[in-house]
Amino acid sequence: MAKSVKVYSTTTCPYCVSAKNFLKSNNVEFQDIDVLADQEAAQEMVQKSGQMGVPVIDIDGQIIVGFDQARIKSLLGI
């Protein structure tokens, strides 16, 4: 069963782009949430992570702050 993956990001963040490209290259479907365009999503991201920085990746409720490739692979089983 596919995991629920959300990527809280901005369009100007190089780590966000890297994280999304990594997910795409592994055929992982994800919801891309632009926290600059969506203030409610930005608040949700801060509540989940305690962080203002992006990317914040939510994989089935497990929060990853930053582009931690090893942790993403571990949580997704890839």
For residue range 30-65, list pLDDT tens digits in order: 999 999 999 999 999 999 999 899 999 999 999 999
For residue range 9-34, list pLDDT tens digits in order: 999 999 999 999 999 999 999 999 99
pLDDT at 1: 65
pLDDT at 2: 77
Q: Which long-range contacts (CB under 8 A, 24 or more apart) does 19-24 make?
A: 19/55, 19/57, 19/67, 19/72, 20/55, 22/67, 22/69, 22/72, 23/72
pLDDT at 35: 97
* Domains of the chain, CATH where assigned: 5-76 (3.40.30.10)
pTM of the predicted protein model: 0.93
